[in-house]
């Protein structure tokens, strides 16, 4: 296995373990390099009825982060079918950020890209957890007692 794939797998496992520690039900579903015909995100995380779909990318150097057209369209369709919210998780040398997939731009070649500055303005893991917890609905029966 190449060093890139080893690093990517390690990052996916790290994201899964950190989300699990934060109370999420999490599944790692890596598909790159497999014979899957249907692209799926690398990580599926659920908490209190909120579904997060996370595509994980690692960046060793400064520069634009790309997602291939076929992969992007496939995971966007997966998000549409599941009702999940799609995020791109980007690892920089000393930080991890989660960016809403809708913030990626389409390139002339049909691929999807995000500039480092936009990616670095994404959510931290704790911000992502707070985002999910803010979506939690509390039924009226909790207040009536």
Give the closest residue to 65 by CA, choosing from 55, 74, 79.
Answer: 55
69 touches 110 (CB < 8 A): yes
SS3 117: helix
Rg (CA), the chain: 16
Count of residues making up the chain: 145
Query: Considering 2, 9, 17, 32, which one is annotated as catalytic?
Result: 32
Distance CA 36, CA 113 (A): 23
Contacts of 32 (CB under 8 A, 6+ apart): 5, 8
Residue 34 is a catalytic residue: no
The catalytic residues are: 32
């Amino acid at each position: 296995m190449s060093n890139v794939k080893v690093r990517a797998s390690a990052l996916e496992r790290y994201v899964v373990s950190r989300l699990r520690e934060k109370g999420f039900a999490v599944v790692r579903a890596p598909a790159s390099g497999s014979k899957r015909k249907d692209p799926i995100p690398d990580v599926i995380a659920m908490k209190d009825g909120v579904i997060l779909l996370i595509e994980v990318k690692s960046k060793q150097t400064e520069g634009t982060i790309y997602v291939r057209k076929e992969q992007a369209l496939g995971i966007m369709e997966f998000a549409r079918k599941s009702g999940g919210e799609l995020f791109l998780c980007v690892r920089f040398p000393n930080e991890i950020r989660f960016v809403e997939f809708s913030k990626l731009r389409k390139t002339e070649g049909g691929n999807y890209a995000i500039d480092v500055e936009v990616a670095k303005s994404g959510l931290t893991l704790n911000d992502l957890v707070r985002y999910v917890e803010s979506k939690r609905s509390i039924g009226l029966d909790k207040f009536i007692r």
